[in-house]
Amino acid sequence: MSKKYSQSRALGAITKASFLANLKNPQAIVFSLVFPLIFVFIFGAFGGGGFTKFKLAVAQNSDTTNELYKALAKQPFINFQKYTDTDLMRTDLEKGKLVGVVGIASVTDSNDTLKSEPHFILNIKSTSASASELSQLKPLLENVANSLEKKLTGNTLQFVTIKTNIYNVREYKQIDFVLPGQIGFSLLFSTLFGIAFTFYNLREQLVLKRFYATPVNRLNILLGIGFSRIFFQLINVLVLITVGHFFLNFTLVHGFLTFVEMVSLSLLLLLLLMGVGL
């Protein structure tokens, strides 16, 4: 009496063979791991510097009709952003998308000699996420103030006072935005494109033809290749997160919990895209 063919063992064998084939495939290694790692290192190492324009928001109660605001608006290094939602403005400020929120108040001096020229107080509210940019911006603002004072009073009066208010927030780094994007790229290539290349190579090497000559269930062939892709890609995700965290200071906000959440979301995305790829 012949022994019954084990579909579960066949599934395991196909999964193992496909996984080993992925490890030996240079294209899979390059596009799923090496290529994202190169981008992560490039942006992580060189992506934090050099503002050409400083993005500033204007506080809602700020005076925008005075000479100081008009002088600032003409500067090529300042880009004023308009916000109708204060919550969105605060979020962008805390994420470092804004250097600061500017408020201009005019105060009339009681001295008769100064009544013709009001005193301006330039308040800049910023966060620790933009501290380096603010340190670059402040001397430029002082130059603008000096030029305006020279134009209006011949530098005989100082009527612009610059005040800064910086509060600490969570630090947002370039790598915090780059690494998740590269993980997404790796998942997308591995599922949508990698599956197609895998089946094409199996067909060219007549492996599929040999599979069909065996009693193995056709669904097990798909599942075996799919499982191998999932295992292979999860290893890539673990490597990307580990390298990003320990070598490029990628921020895991809640530590190990964030790590588990990222891996879980990657697994969910793999399952969704794998259905399209298969």
Q: Cα separation of 255 and 223, whole Å?
A: 33
Domain ranges of the chain: 8-44+174-277, 54-167
The pLDDT of residue 51 is 45
- Note the CATH number of domain 54-167: 3.40.1710
Q: Cα separation of 175 and 236, whole Å?
A: 17
DSSP assignment letter at 109:
-
Instruction: Collect the ranges in the chain with pLDDT lower than 50.
Output: 1, 50-51, 112-114
Q: Are 248 and 44 in contact (CB under 8 A)?
A: yes
β-bridge partners, 127: 167
Collect all residues with Cβ–Cβ distance below 8 Å to 128 and sequence separation of at least 6. 166, 167, 168, 169, 171
Segment 141-166, tens digit of pLDDT: 999 988 888 877 776 667 788 999 99
Segment 197-231, tens digit of pLDDT: 777 777 777 777 777 777 788 788 888 888 888 89
CB atoms within 10 A of CB 116: 11
**Which of 215, 190, 237, 238 is closest to 14 using CA atoms?**
215
Q: Are 145 and 69 in contact (CB under 8 A)?
A: no
The pLDDT of residue 1 is 46
